[in-house]
């Protein structure tokens, strides 16, 4: 939502300022320049990235348009889920929990939280780690190392779309110059013609440079930054699960394990102690 608002502000400010100086909007309408710059930028994406990264870029852009899923309501729901799982394990035993971890989509405890089931990275991270602790022979230190390794791999993989989009954004001013040079070549071929025609071709060439710089610093660069921040939010969420799991496998009481997880939430999203306590005791959380 905020991405679309930002795009509207950028376009509105540029067009508004241009019109204030009595500029003609039709001069900026240069489809050929967009084809050159946009097509070349799309080509660089295919040249510089494997298929899974390209698919990740598309998903990351759509995710940025929707906004970050990591909100206060989201974390409240996750805290309640963790408490339910830990209390369930205390009451029914670790063997019963292991059967739920093996088939979470059929588990009565996990199916209460469909958003968690849809997050395959988080689901596998949680289930695989807790299952390892139940199977025995793996201490908290080794589990912590496993989780840290998993988090590093996920964060690196999640950073590839933002990094690739940043590379494309950095290339756009150069591609704008390419479009401008081609416009100059066309202009040179039109020398001797009417001054109005030459002026139109020069303007079209300059629009190419304008579009390259605008697309870089006004759209793709900030969008890549937004995607990077969402990826950082995912890493913080993994750290949140990590703290809860570590406390749980060490034999900490469910309420204290949940408190460890709550303290791992970024401060601008962290719910208060009483708010968390109310949710754990059966209050209804807002939909995440």
Most confident of 27-31, 64-68, 216-220, 249-253: 216-220
Q: To the nearest whole number, what is the mean pLDDT of the chain?
A: 90
Each domain of the chain, given as residue ranges in start order, spans 45-174+216-280
Least confident range of 28-32, 126-130, 218-222: 28-32
Burial class (CB in 10 A: 0-12, 13-18, 19+), 113: buried
> Does residue 249 carry a pLDDT above 60?
yes
Q: Which whole-number Å values give the CA distances from 120 to 52, 79, 90, 124, in the listed order?
A: 17, 18, 25, 6
pLDDT 10s digits, 134-175: 887 678 889 999 999 999 999 999 999 999 999 999 999 999
Question: Which pTM was predicted?
Answer: 0.87
Cα–Cα dist 144/85, whole Å: 20
| Angle of CA points 147, 134, 129, to nearest 5° | 15
Bigger pLDDT: 288 or 39? 39
Please report the pLDDT score of residue 186 as a whole number.
86
pLDDT 10s digits, 273-282: 999 998 888 7
Cα–Cα dist 181/201, whole Å: 11
Please report the pLDDT score of residue 260 as a whole number.
95
Please report the pLDDT score of residue 216 as a whole number.
95
What share of the chain in percent tops pLDDT 90?
68
Q: pLDDT category, 285, cuts 50, 70, 90?
A: very low
Please report the pLDDT score of residue 159 as a whole number.
95
Cα–Cα dist 228/156, whole Å: 11
Please report the pLDDT score of residue 190 as a whole number.
74
> Does residue 288 carry a pLDDT above 50?
no
DSSP class per residue in the chain: -HHHHHHHHHHHHHHHHHHHTT--HHHH--HHHHHHHHHHHHHHHHHHS-HHHHHHHHHHHHHHHH--S--HHHHHHHHHHHHHHHHHHHHH-HHHHHHHHHSGGG-TTTTT-HHHHH-HHHHHHHHHHHHHHHHSS--HHHHHHHHHHHHHHHHHHHHHHHHHHHHHHHHHHHHHHHHHHHHHHHHHHTTTS-HHHHHHHHHHHHHHHHHHHHIIIIIIHHHHHHHHHHHHHHHHHHHHHHHHHHHHHTT--HHHHHHHHHHTS-TTTPPPHHHHHHHHTTPPPPP-
> Does residue 287 carry a pLDDT above 50?
no
pLDDT 10s digits, 28-58: 888 889 999 999 999 999 999 999 999 999 9
Q: pLDDT category, 26, cuts 50, 70, 90?
A: confident
């Amino acid at each position: 939502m905020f991405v679309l608002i930002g795009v509207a502000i950028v376009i509105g400010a540029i067009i508004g300022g241009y019109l204030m100086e009595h500029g003609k909007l039709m001069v900026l309408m240069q489809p050929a320049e967009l084809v050159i710059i946009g097509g070349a930028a799309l080509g660089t994406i295919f040249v510089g990235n494997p298929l899974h990264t390209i698919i990740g870029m598309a998903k990351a852009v759509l995710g940025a348009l929707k906004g970050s899923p990591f909100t206060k309501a989201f974390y409240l729901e996750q805290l309640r889920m963790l408490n339910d799982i830990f209390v369930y394990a205390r009451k029914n035993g670790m063997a019963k929990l292991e059967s739920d971890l093996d088939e979470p989509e059929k588990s009565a405890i996990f199916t209460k939280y469909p958003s968690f089931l849809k997050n395959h990275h988080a689901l596998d991270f949680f289930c695989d780690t807790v299952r390892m602790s139940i199977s025995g022979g793996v201490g908290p230190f080794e589990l912590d190392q496993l989780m840290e390794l998993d988090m590093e791999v996920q964060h690196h993989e999640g950073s590839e779309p933002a990094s690739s989009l940043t590379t494309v954004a950095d290339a756009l001013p150069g591609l704008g110059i390419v479009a401008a040079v081609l416009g100059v070549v066309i202009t040179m071929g039109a020398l001797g013609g009417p001054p109005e025609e030459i002026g139109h071709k020069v303007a079209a060439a300059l629009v190419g440079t304008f579009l390259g710089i605008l697309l870089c610093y006004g759209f793709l660069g900030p969008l890549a930054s937004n995607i990077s921040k969402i990826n950082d939010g995912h890493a913080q969420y993994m750290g949140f699960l990590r703290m809860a799991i570590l406390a749980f496998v060490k034999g900490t009481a469910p309420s204290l394990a949940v408190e460890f997880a709550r303290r791992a939430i970024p401060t601008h999203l962290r719910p208060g102690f009483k708010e968390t306590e109310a949710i754990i005791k059966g209050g209804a959380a807002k939909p995440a």
